[in-house]
Amino acid sequence: RRPVRIAPSLLAADFARLGEETRAVAAAGADWLHLDIMDGHFVPNISFGPVVVKALRPHAGIPFDVHLMIAPADPYIEAFAAAGADLISVHPEAGPHLHRTLQSIRGLGKQAGVVLNPGTPVAAVENVLDLLDLVLVMSVNPGFGGQAFLASQLGKIAALRRMIDASGRDIALQVDGGITPATAPACIDAGADVLVAGTAVFAQPDYAAAIAAIRGNPA
Ligand code: DX5
Ligand code: ZN
C-alpha cells in the first residue's frame, strides 16, 4: 500500500496565531501545509492572500500546497510562486485556458495541480496529464471547512487512480473536504495518496495524534 501524506488545511487554524499553528502542525508530522485561497467570488468566502503565505514561509520547511479558489487565477500565480508556494492548484472553471495556466505554473518552477469540484468530471484533466504533478478531488463543495464528506466522489478517486497509473506519470492524488479518521480509509482504498484535513487536525487538542489517526496509524 502506498504511503499516505497528510496536508493539514490552515483554514481551520487559529487565524490570530497562524505562524505558531504552522510550526505546530509541521512539528506534529504534517507532510504538506494546505493553504486555501478564497476570493469571495469563485467561492462564497474570503480567506487570505500571498502576503500571508509569504509571512508563513519561514515558519516551516514542509511543502506549501496552495489551493487557489479564485477567478481569474492567472494574474495571481506569480505572486503565490514568489510568496513560497511549492505546489499551486487551480480549478478548471477559474480561467479559459487551463493548459496555459498549468504551463505558467510549471514555468515558474512550481508543481502544478488541477482541482475537480464535486460536479466536475474526470475528463477535465485527461488532456493535461503531461503538465500535472497533482490532481485534487474535492469531497465537499469548496468555500468552507467543516462540511460533510461526499461519498459520491469515491468513484471519481478510483477512476483517477486508474488514469494516473495508466499514464505512468508521477502525479499525486489528493482529496480535500470532510476528511476524518472515519472517512480517510475509503479515500485511501480508492487510491488517494494525499489527504487534506482542516477541522480533523486543528479542532483536536493533539495535532500529532490527529494526523496519525487520519494516516491510519492511531497512536
Ligand atoms: C474547502 C477547502 C478545504 C477545507 C477542508 O474549500 O478547500 O481545504 O479547509 O476543511 P475540512 O477538513 O474541515 O473539511
Ligand atoms: Zn483546500
Distance from the CA of 44 to the center of ligand 1, in angstroms?
13
Rounded distance between C-alpha atoms, residue 112 and residue 101, angstroms = 9
DSSP code at position 178: S
Please report the pLDDT score of residue 16 as a whole number.
Answer: 98
Q: Domains in the chain: how many in total? A: 1
Its pTM surpasses 0.95: yes
Could you tell me if the ipTM is greater than 0.95?
Answer: yes
Please report the pLDDT score of residue 1 as a whole number.
Answer: 65
The rounded average pLDDT for each run of 10 residues, N- to C-terminus, in the chain (219 residues) is 92 98 98 99 98 98 99 98 99 98 98 99 98 98 98 98 98 98 98 98 98 87
Please report the pLDDT score of residue 219 as a whole number.
Answer: 56
Q: Is 65 a catalytic residue?
A: no
- Which residues pair with residue 125 across a beta bridge? none
Instruction: Determine which helix (DSSP H) or strand (DSSP E) holds 7, and give its type and residue range.
Output: strand 5-8
Please report the pLDDT score of residue 217 as a whole number.
Answer: 82
Q: Which of 31, 65, 74, 176 is catalytic?
A: 176
Range of the domain at 30: 5-215
- Omega prior to 8 cis, within 30 of 0: no
CATH number of the domain within which 66 lies:
3.20.20.70
Task: Spell out which residues line ligand 1, taking CB within 6 angstroms.
Answer: 9, 11-12, 34, 36, 67, 140, 142-143, 145-147, 176-179, 196-200
Ramachandran region, residue 178 (left: φ > 0; alpha: ψ -120 to 50; beta: rest): left
